[in-house]
Amino acid sequence: KNQVEQSPQSLIILEGKNCTLQCNYTVSPFSNLRWYKQDTGRGPVSLTIMTFSENTKSNGRYTATLDADTKQSSLHITASQLSDSASYICVVSAMDSSYKLIFGSGTRLLVRP
Amino acid sequence: ETGVTQTPRHLVMGMTNKKSLKCEQHLGHNAMYWYKQSAKKPLELMFVYSLEERVENNSVPSRFSPECPNSSHLFLHLHTLQPEDSALYLCASSQDVGGGTDTQYFGPGTRLTVL
């Protein structure tokens, strides 16, 4: 069964610190993996997308990595800001039906001053 | 952020009411989607439309009825809902349903509460 699991479920860090969020997936055949950021009361916004051949992708202070062999991805946030407080959702699509995205439950990040 | 809009942003309705959710995309996309997001659960795909034709109905109860009059507008008609239908309903659009690296752009959602 195609699944995406994220850890931790929630995380609290101090402003300025770094953090890493994890994503494991069992989706096959793999097409691509996205990280979305969802602010409270808003829709998800795409941060990065990686295909099978890519193992790292950056978007400002956000850096995503992908290990297609172990089926793991991580999202690293550098020098966190209060505005980084949000849910971060790992989303994987399969080659045979790419519009059917498989969503993780998300990691809720709280950045405190 | 304003590429996909949804109204209303909040809705409270009784189980016998009939209401509709509206979504509009200003991105010139051909595909539109309805998702349900319940607390602490992954997003669930409900319906997919491509060029106004429904291509996916993901085992959604008939009390949810979608309508896509054109490629820019999508509605979700609600009737005789249950309290467990309370959730955030998200609309999204993408260039096509072909997938690949095509990104889905989400609206802000409608927070629905069924009493």
Q: B9-47: per-residue pLDDT in tens?
A: 999 998 888 999 999 999 999 999 999 999 888 999 999
* pLDDT band for position B99 (cuts 50, 70, 90): low
Chain-chain contact of B40 with A105 (C-beta, under 8 angstroms): yes
Compute the distance between CA of residue A74 and CA of residue A81 in angstroms, rounded to an integer. Answer: 19
Within 8 A by CB and 6+ apart from B101, the residues are: A32, A49, A51
pLDDT at A110 (0 to 100):
98
CA A51 from chain centre, in angstroms, equals 14
Q: Which amino acid is at B108?
A: P
The mean pLDDT value of chain B amounts to: 92
Q: Which residues of chain B have a CB within 8 Å of the CB of A51?
A: 101
pLDDT at A98 (0 to 100):
66
pLDDT exceeds cutoff 80 at B98: no
Q: Is B30 exposed, middle or buried (0-12, 13-18, 19+ CB in 10 A)?
A: middle
Chain-chain contact of A43 with B101 (C-beta, under 8 angstroms): no
Name the minimum distance, in Å, from the CA of A55 to any CA of chain B: 15
pLDDT at B1 (0 to 100):
53
Name the minimum distance, in Å, from the CA of A76 to any CA of chain B: 21
Give the DSSP letter of residue B104: P
pLDDT at B55 (0 to 100):
86
Chain-chain contact of B100 with A32 (C-beta, under 8 angstroms): yes
Q: Is the model more confident about B89 or about A98?
A: B89
Q: Is the model more confident about A5 or about B52?
A: A5
CB A37 within 8 A of CB A103: no
Using CA atoms, how far residue A86 sits from A36, A42, A81, B47, B101, in Å, is 10, 10, 11, 26, 24
The alpha-carbon radius of gyration of chain A (Å, integer) is 13
Render each residue's pLDDT in chain A as its tens digit; 113 residues.
889 999 999 999 999 999 999 999 998 888 899 999 999 989 999 999 999 889 999 999 999 999 999 999 999 999 999 999 999 999 998 887 767 889 999 999 999 99
Query: B90 by DSSP, 3-state: which?
Result: strand
Average pLDDT over residues B49-61: 87
pLDDT exceeds cutoff 70 at B107: yes
